[in-house]
Amino acid sequence: MKRWVAGSLSIALLGTMLAACSSNNDKNSGSSNTGNNGSNASEQPAEATTYPIKTDKTLSYWGEINGQLIGVKESHKDIPFFQEWQKVTGVPLEFTEPPTGQVKEAFNVMLASGKLPDMVEYNFIGDFPGGPEKAIQDGYIVKLNDLIDKYAPNLKKYLQDNPDIDKMVKTDSGSYYAFPFIRGDEYLRVFQGPIIRKDWLDELGLPVPETIDDWTAALTAFKEKKGAAAPLTFNSKPRFFNDGGNGAFMGAFGVTRGFYQEDGKVVFGPEQAGYKEYLALFRDWYSKGLIDKNIATADTKSVDGNIASGATGASIGNAGGGIGKWQPLVEAKDPKAVLVGAPYPVLKKGDTPKFGQHNTAYASEGTVAITTQAKDPELAVKMLDFGYSVEGGLFFNFGTEGVSYNMKDGYPTYTDLLLKNPDKLAPAQAISLYARGSYNGPFVQDKRYAEQFFALQTQRDAVSTWQKTDAAKYQLPPITPSPEESSEYAAIMNDVNTLIDEMSLKIILGTEPVDAFDKYVEKMKSLNLDRAIEIQQAALDRYNSR
């Protein structure tokens, strides 16, 4: 009997066993931390650090490997950029990398273990329930205000020069919590939108679609005349709105899948009447076979496959990871094939789209925080500050001079090692080996990266096409609920999001009538959606008064 009791209970408690081993950690971390701060305080402040720093300490670093490098490199220590980063800053690093795509789960387990590395690269606004303020309050990461003042002159100067970005990278109470990733130019903030086969359109005598009606005509023609089995498809994993949530198609009806603001008021898209119209449109398209039949289970692999085989003529994707990846695939089958970016659809020709993908200058991914268990926070800060210096900026965006880029008339130019890689790596992959310009990290992204990274004219055109939206006016800045409200907010939104995913797909796939929408909106209300909007509104108000 005992055995079975223990057995069944212990299965349930597996998770807690991990936690059990770590109960005395708080004491250690507290003491080691104050010890360090004490000794640091005696040193002199605010002077530019000379790199490489002379140190015999090794710092530990926790962070995801860029998805582009899956199958290319397994560990940070094998990636030239990270080897070089240690050399130029002089600080040896020991890396831990969570499985790509499971960062949140891995982070969760790491926190529960109670053993934290010195630095963690993590999205504290998007992926930490409760946001950065709570992460500081719960004692995982340290507030960086004093440390930045004393040891990070480069970042400090950048933030002083850019007060609007400064406002984004701190919390409501004015705490700095991470070394931010900043998209240094408006040009870098838009990179995703509808993509369509231009060669098919030309052949069929159709224009690049602008209105929803144009789209219906184009997709119908793709299906009937080009034999496309799934004229429109897009990635639905892990969520149905993974790529379509920020305004492609539904933006025409004036809504997105999430929160946005109108005249300073927070609005939730899926409860608006426009969302119902969007569902009705997609339902219609689906029943006519204009949308992939497997849309609920479509992942990047199946989307790639459909585009390559010519079963699909339109999708939603990035200039780099979409057009850049798919253009060679479609060309392989049909040399004349061309993919172009189409404008975000509108209802009336000539209107400016209300929504489209648009990131704020600081979107909180790729930021690096220092944990409460850091052995030497001062050294970590000095090291991370490198990315915001002039040399550091070049290094992060372009890599090492003479290897991955050359200065031509003061313009850092990627070498062929990156753009025409001898090992047949795509530019996006090769750049991620030598630099971080193509994704993110603790530095300011340089426009000159994108000018070269988008090797095809169609990619550059796509970005300028997608930029023509009013999204910047309606999108929310990086806001977070207060730590007190965060779990209430999370609990509500968890249920609401489940409900919306379910409702949207059921209505689109025809399992339920369009009018079921109204019933669902009532359900959202009964799940206390209004309270969640109230919390978001308060967060926005706090942000505006920062």
Interface contacts to another protein, rule CB under 8 A: 1-13, 15-17, 19-20, 22-26, 29, 104-105, 108, 111-114, 128-129, 138-140, 229, 236, 240, 293-294, 296-297, 372, 487, 490-491, 494-495, 498, 501-502, 504-506, 509, 511, 526-527
Q: Quick check: 344 and 355 in contact, CB under 8 A?
A: yes
Name which of 11 and 390 has its Cβ closer to another protein: 11
Closest to 142 (Cα-Cα) out of 378, 490, 392: 378
Tell which residue, 468, 465, 430, has the closest CA to residue 449.
430
Least distance between another protein and beta carbon 20 (Å) = 4
CB of 113 to another protein, least distance (A): 7
The residue (of 28 and 352) whose beta carbon lies closer to another protein is 28
β-strands 314-318, 405-408 pairing: unpaired
d(CA 62, CA 129): 19
- CA–CA separation, 534 and 265 (whole Å): 10
Helices vs strands, H then E, count in the chain: 23, 13
- Cβ 380 to another protein shortest distance, Å: 19
Instruction: Kindly state the smallest distance separating residue 325's Cβ from another protein, in Å.
Output: 21
Q: Shortest distance, CB of residue 101 to another protein, whole angstroms?
A: 12
Q: How far is the CB of 231 from another protein (least distance, A)?
A: 14
Three-state DSSP state, 183: strand
Backbone phi, then psi, for 483, in 5-degree steps?
-55, -35
Q: Which is nearer to another protein, 211 or 497 (CB)?
A: 497
Quote the least distance from Cβ 395 to another protein, whole Å.
34
Of 39 and 487, the one with the shorter C-beta distance to another protein is: 487
Beta strand 182-183 with 444-445: parallel, antiparallel or unpaired?
parallel
Q: Which amino acid is at 323?
A: I
Distance CA 323, CA 326 (A): 5
Task: Return the number of the residue (298 or 417) whose C-beta is nearest another protein.
Answer: 298
Residue 142 Ramachandran class (φ > 0 left, ψ -120 to 50 alpha, else beta): beta
CB of 66 to another protein, least distance (A): 22
Rounded Cα gap, residues 112 and 122, in angstroms: 16
Question: Which alpha helices (H) appear in 273-419, and where do they start and end?
Answer: 273-287, 300-309, 325-333, 377-385, 390-398, 416-419
Pick between residue 71 and residue 205 the one whose CB is nearest to another protein. Answer: 71
Which whole-number Å values give the CA distances from 38 to 32, 43, 334, 421, 487, in the listed order?
A: 10, 10, 67, 49, 35
Measured N-to-C along each axis, helices 80-89 and 390-398 cross at an angle, to the nearest 10 degrees, of: 170
- Rounded Cα–Cα distance for residues 89 and 182 (Å): 20
Q: Which is nearer to another protein, 169 or 492 (CB)?
A: 492
Taking the least distance from each CB to another protein, the nearer of 58 and 511 is: 511
Query: Quick check: helix, strand or coil at residue 491?
Result: helix
Tell me the three state secondary structure of residue 196: strand
- Is 192 within 8 Å of 355 (Cβ atoms)? no
Name which of 236 and 404 has its Cβ closer to another protein. Answer: 236
Q: Which is nearer to another protein, 7 or 410 (CB)?
A: 7
Nearest approach in angstroms of CB 271 to another protein is 16
Closest CB 232 distance from another protein, rounded Å: 15
